[in-house]
Amino acid sequence: MNPINKNGANALVKAFEIAGISKIFTLSGNHIMPIYDAIFDSKIDLIHTRHEGAAVHMADAWARLTGEAGIALVTGGPGHANAISALYTAAMAESPVVLLSGHAPLNQLGKGAFQEMQQADIAAPLTKASWVCQRTEDIVSDIAKAIRIAKSGRPGPVHLSLPTDVLESALAEGAVMPTPASFDREPIHAADADLSKIISRLKQSSKPLILTGPQMLSKNGKVLLAKLEKTLGIPVIGMESPRGIGDPSLGAFSEVLSQADCVLLLGKKVDFTLKFAQSPGFNKECLFLQIDPVPAEIQRTKNALGARLIDSAISDIPSAIDQLLSLHSGTGKLASQWQIEVSDAIQFQPAAWANIPPNRGKLHPVQALAPLQAILDSHPDSVLISDGGEIGQWAQACLKAPNRVINGVAGSIGAGLPFASAASIAKPNVPIIAVMGDGTFGFHSAEIDTAVRYKLPFTLIVGNDAKWNAEYQIQVRDYGQDRTLGCELLPSRYEKVCEAFGGYGEFVDDSMEVLPAAKRAMASKLPSCINIMIDGLAAPNIKRS
């Protein structure tokens, strides 16, 4: 541990360096100016956004793509409030984000301080932990604690408020810094015997499944899940969509899920995405096993399933997978008939999608999206970003990539542009396709300016149906065609917005021009927008019969 003799802000920046933090997503403001000054001569890059919510979304995408903690730094009061809603998307995506917010001075609280606000209380419902740093000498241990909590157990966001007097006050002589290990996640290990028992129960069933959640759906996570499936000979399915059982990216998965007789919930919550594990999504006789880092989550499953939850263990998911792999070495057998059935169901796409005739005007979503697979297939580290209601589901059904970042279980839209910018930083010189609806475009369109300033190329695909289509589909289904309200948008020229910020743009209403336009956009090496006129169809409900 090295002694430091400067103020709290300098100590914080030194702690960032020890933790290996290289990028911080931020928007400037009064309360965090001491940190900006301290960071000026460091090697840490500040990525300065146009909205505090975008800074959190960028930190979220960075965390998902790199496996590191994503750091968002915003000012206090309204700046902090602007950042809060983005925490929900990160929380539901199990993404290790740390939101650092400036804060009114401690010595002015209760006296009407500038932008005084109960910041920790506001952030608490959306975070794993939320508090205000109370002393300058605590600042480095607090940031280590925040990063450690964000990465441990079920990963998720943490908030720490930093009062300006804590940042500006001098440290006591001889104050020390944390070690790199202080920022590591704290593993939670189950007993080997408990995990062996769970796998034994799975293997006694005829149609077992392992379901896992968003945490394991990074590129590296999916490699680990594939290894687990091969080792155990049991299908392993990752779920991160608000459509859950009906996730179009999982094809006809619902058909095989209903046949399963034993399911291991490997960090997967029993929630709305599983229809609370009730029939008809699941067979009424299906039994459940659970491995989860949160005891309260296991109790919640017991409350929902009663005697159908036959065994459980407490462990963080990466540790559990490592143990399972070491306990059950692979046999090298060919995939079972059940594994083949599950794989075939997940890979299924309707044959009609391949036979849509070329056309002009409003394109079928498949015509607007499927040609882009050629770009995603051109690089082993390409990135697909999907954000939006119905168009987001079409994108997830039509496109695959080694790295995927979606709006996730939260079901909230608007993060796509910040996600794309962060992806360009995390994965430089890699094709990045970001699909979003015209409604979504309006949330953070100014982040095109951020991307232009930092020279962050990506190809944004706007599916333009001139409506809030997800809400339109709900209203038509539930109330009737003549009772839609608040769904209308203009068929705006979003590509020109991108051009106005200094990016590249094209308008497409010809199905044969989608891929050529996307290739020209990539060749520009600029943040790009391809504005494609589409037919406002409901998201696909994939069935084989």
Query: Concatenated DSSP letters for 257-283?
Result: HTT-SEEEEEB---SGGGGGG-TTTS-
| Contact between residue 491 and residue 467 where contact means Cβ atoms under 8 Å apart | no
Which helix or strand (DSSP H or E) is residue 221 part of?
A: helix 219-232
The stretch 439-445 carries a mean pLDDT of 96
pLDDT over 50 at 194, yes or no: yes
pLDDT digits (tens, 9 = 90+) for 233-280: 999 999 999 999 999 999 999 999 999 999 999 999 999 999 999 989
| pLDDT at residue 43 in the model | 94
The confidence band for 545, taking pLDDT boundaries of 50, 70 and 90, is confident
What mean pLDDT is reported for the chain?
95
* pLDDT of 4 above 90: no
517-533 in b/e form (b: 16+ CB < 10 A) is: bbeebbeeebbbbbbbb
Over residues 14-43, the pLDDT tens digits come to: 999 999 999 999 999 999 999 999 999 899
Residue 2 confidence (pLDDT): 44
Residue 459 phi, psi dihedral angles, 5° rounding? -115, 110
Query: Which ranges of 20-77 would DSSP assign to H, the alpha helix?
Result: 33-39, 52-66
pLDDT of 174: 73
Q: What distance in Å separates the CA atoms of residue 308 and residue 239, rounded to the nearest whole number?
A: 21
Pairing, β 175-176 against β 3-4: antiparallel
Going 227 to 232 to 235 to 240, the CA torsion angle's sign is: negative
pLDDT at 175: 77
Percentage of the chain exceeding pLDDT 70: 98
Give 325's contacts (C-beta < 8 A, 6+ positions apart).
227, 228, 231
533 to each of 303, 338, 540, how far by Cα in Å?
47, 41, 18
CA distances from 299 to 154, 292, 365 (A): 16, 10, 42
Is residue 1 scored above 80 in pLDDT?
no
Dihedral of alpha carbons 248, 252, 258, 263, sign: negative
C-alpha pair distances (Å), 318 with each of 323, 325, 484: 9, 11, 46
Provide the strand spans (E) within 444-511.
Answer: 458-464, 504-508
Residues 364, 448 contacting (CB under 8 angstroms): no
Task: Look at residue 331 in the predicted model and tell me its pLDDT.
Answer: 55
Report, as an integer, the average pLDDT of 417-434: 98
pLDDT band at 202 (very low <50, low <70, confident <90, very high): very high
Closest CA to 54 of 528, 497, 506, 416: 416
- Gap between the Cα atoms of 124 and 158, Å rounded: 8
For tokens 């589409």, what's the residue? Answer: 534
Structural domains of the chain, with CATH: 3-183 (3.40.50.970), 192-347 (3.40.50.1220), 351-533 (3.40.50.970)
Residues 151 and 184: beta-carbon distance below 8 Å: yes
283 DSSP β-pair partners: none
Cα dihedral 257/259/265/268 (nearest 10): 20
366, pLDDT greater than 70? yes
Structure tokens at 209: 């499944």
CB 88 within 8 A of CB 414: no
In sequence order, the β-bridge partners of residue 385 are 405, 434
The model's pLDDT over 299-334, given as tens digits with 9 standing for 90+, comes to: 999 999 999 999 999 999 999 999 999 998 655 567
How large is the average pLDDT for residues 59-66? 98
Average of per-residue pLDDT across 401-415:
95
- What is residue 153's DSSP assignment? S
pLDDT tens for each residue of 325-359: 999 865 556 779 999 999 999 999 999 999 999 99
CB 90 within 8 A of CB 101: no
Give the integer Cα–Cα distance in Å for 434 and 431: 10
